[in-house]
Amino acid sequence: MTTKQDLIVIGGGPGGLVVASVAAQLGLKVTLIEKSGLLGGDCLHTGCVPSKALIHMARIAHAARTGVNQGLLSTMPEIDFSKAIDHVNRVTAKIQIHDDPERFRNYGCDVRFGKARFISQHEVSVDDGETVTGRRFVIATGSRPAIPPIPLLEQAGFDTNETIFKRRTLPTRLAVIGGGPIGVELAQAFTRFGSKVTIIEMADRLLINEDKAISLQLQEVLKKEGIEIITAVQVAGVHREGDSRQLRLSNNMTIDCDQILVATGRRPVVHDLGLEEAGVEFGRTGITVDRRLRTSQKHIYAVGDVCGPYQFTHMAEYQAGIALANIAFRIPRKTDYRVVPRVVYSDPEVASAGITEDEALAQGIKYHIAEFPMAEVDRAITDDAEAGLSRILISKGRVIGASLIGPHAGELIHELALAMQVNAKVTAISALAHAYPSYAQIHRRTINKSYAHLLQSKTTRSLVWLLKRVLP
């Protein structure tokens, strides 16, 4: 049996769901095919949602211990890790309601569960043996954990973000391979629950893609919480004896642990999709697309992790909007990645948008840096949350990049991202009355401090003197 559709969406994660639901509501005949039994993708089931729920519970545990240290509580609380996992499951189930297949069927979308594979440029087969024919396609198959080729790692056993949230027992010793966002977030969470955690990172610092001053400050915070951080090394091999594992590092160090978490990035899901049969070009970094998100076959689009360049849920949703404009309205809309907010949900949070200082140097852009410490923001002082820093790159009076570390940095970054998006002058940020006492005051104070030398200059003082003499 063959079904003919206007649009076939392969993958029921954030990007695929946006495309399928909106296209169906616009009146297109849409088929959505998801290989797992649930909609929502990795973000809902093994990524953003469970990790943030776990981080929230870890923050509560940390606050309770801090309360003892500050004299608010008389006894150290017992932490039940299984209750934290219960919370993760409740949160995931609650959000899953929004991704119920019936909701999308009510929009007019044909939702199917099974493995989709191209058999020609306009046909895909599904597990049930049916062939679906489409005028246009969107591939939104996401990504999966990238596992490094470490000798005996497979035999020793390890977790990734796809399995770690299923464990209900807290490991006594946890080794985290990888110092990127996933590794950093979960390392801190497990430390706060009571695990002894070691992070092993091949680069010379954690969060290598973030501003150096920002990432080094977070590194110091993590060390103070008891996390052992080993950088500029690789894991050369793993040995298991009973329930214990030993990691041998390239510098001849050994790390003993009970559990291994591999957090060394993600790879796009491009295999077993029949891309060759469809004539769709792809490589190690995913499916090749143009700025309109069209693949080498112009009627086939790709969005999200499967094509990059950023593996963020909000980027998949943004790209879904671009693809929809091209598919449904035939508007030649193109992607613009100049301002992409990104957040590491550590404590304190790390957030950035625009270009980094290294990128500005590489592009030959003339800039200066406006910098301000969170320790001088009154709200941070009241909350005993003084670890933090704002660094804003300014060129020709406008923000071209920003990096923050501090409480709620993931929320604060959006004011600066909007300033970049609309090409606003930094004076617009300075002129806005920011509520006191709020963390957002750091933006105004960062800009004001950067331009204070102009206010205090000899020229400005001379002008004031002249006006005082001339005007009544």
Structure confidence at residue 468 (pLDDT): 84
Looking at the structure, tell me whether residues 359 and 240 fall in a common domain. Answer: no
**Phi and psi at residue 55, to the nearest 5°:** -60, -40
The mean pLDDT value for 458-472 works out to 83
pLDDT band, residue 467 (cuts 50/70/90):
confident
Looking at the structure, tell me whether residues 348 and 421 fall in a common domain. Answer: yes
Looking at the structure, tell me whether residues 116 and 177 fall in a common domain. Answer: no
Structural domain containing residue 394:
342-455
The mean pLDDT value for 319-342 works out to 96
More confident residue, 462 or 436: 436
Looking at the structure, tell me whether residues 28 and 117 fall in a common domain. Answer: yes
- Could you tell me what percentage of the chain is helix, strand and coil, using 3-state DSSP and rounding each to the nearest 5? 40, 25, 35
- How many structural domains is the chain composed of? 3
Q: Torsion-angle region of residue 16: left (phi > 0), alpha (psi -120 to 50) or beta?
A: alpha
Asked if residue 93 belongs to a domain, the reply is no
pLDDT of residue 75 exceeding 90: no
Domain boundary among 245, 264, 283: 264
The mean pLDDT value for 65-74 works out to 80
Looking at the structure, tell me whether residues 207 and 136 fall in a common domain. Answer: no
Asked if residue 285 belongs to a domain, the reply is yes
The mean pLDDT value for 341-351 works out to 98
Looking at the structure, tell me whether residues 21 and 135 fall in a common domain. Answer: yes
The mean pLDDT value for 14-24 works out to 98
Looking at the structure, tell me whether residues 138 and 224 fall in a common domain. Answer: no
Cα 451 to Cα 445: distance, rounded to the nearest angstrom:
10
pLDDT of residue 364 exceeding 60: yes
CA distances from 346 to 173, 180, 353, 406 (A): 20, 11, 17, 9
Cα 268 to Cα 316: distance, rounded to the nearest angstrom:
13
pLDDT in tens, 193-217: 999 999 999 999 999 999 999 999 9
Structure confidence at residue 103 (pLDDT): 97
pLDDT of residue 40 exceeding 70: yes
Looking at the structure, tell me whether residues 316 and 418 fall in a common domain. Answer: no
Looking at the structure, tell me whether residues 205 and 108 fall in a common domain. Answer: no
Domain boundary among 328, 354, 373: 328
pLDDT in tens, 378-434: 999 999 999 999 999 999 999 999 999 999 999 999 999 999 999 999 999 999 999
Asked if residue 379 belongs to a domain, the reply is yes
Structure confidence at residue 455 (pLDDT): 65
Asked if residue 75 belongs to a domain, the reply is no
Structure tokens at 375: 């320790």
Structure confidence at residue 472 (pLDDT): 78
Asked if residue 67 belongs to a domain, the reply is no
Asked if residue 49 belongs to a domain, the reply is no
More confident residue, 452 or 405: 405
Looking at the structure, tell me whether residues 130 and 166 fall in a common domain. Answer: no
Tokens 């501003």 -> residue: 211
Decide: 20 and 32 in contact? Cβ < 8 Å.
Answer: yes
Q: What is the pTM of this model?
A: 0.94
pLDDT in tens, 227-267: 999 999 999 999 999 999 999 999 999 999 999 999 999 99
Looking at the structure, tell me whether residues 361 and 434 fall in a common domain. Answer: yes
Asked if residue 244 belongs to a domain, the reply is yes
Structure tokens at 54: 């776990």
- Taking all residues of the chain, what is their mean pLDDT, rounded to a whole number? 95
Q: At 293, which CATH number?
A: 3.50.50.60
Asked if residue 196 belongs to a domain, the reply is yes
Structure confidence at residue 2 (pLDDT): 67
Structure tokens at 84: 């934290």
Q: What angle do CA 444, 445, 447 make, to 5 degrees?
A: 70
Looking at the structure, tell me whether residues 272 and 408 fall in a common domain. Answer: no
Structure confidence at residue 273 (pLDDT): 97
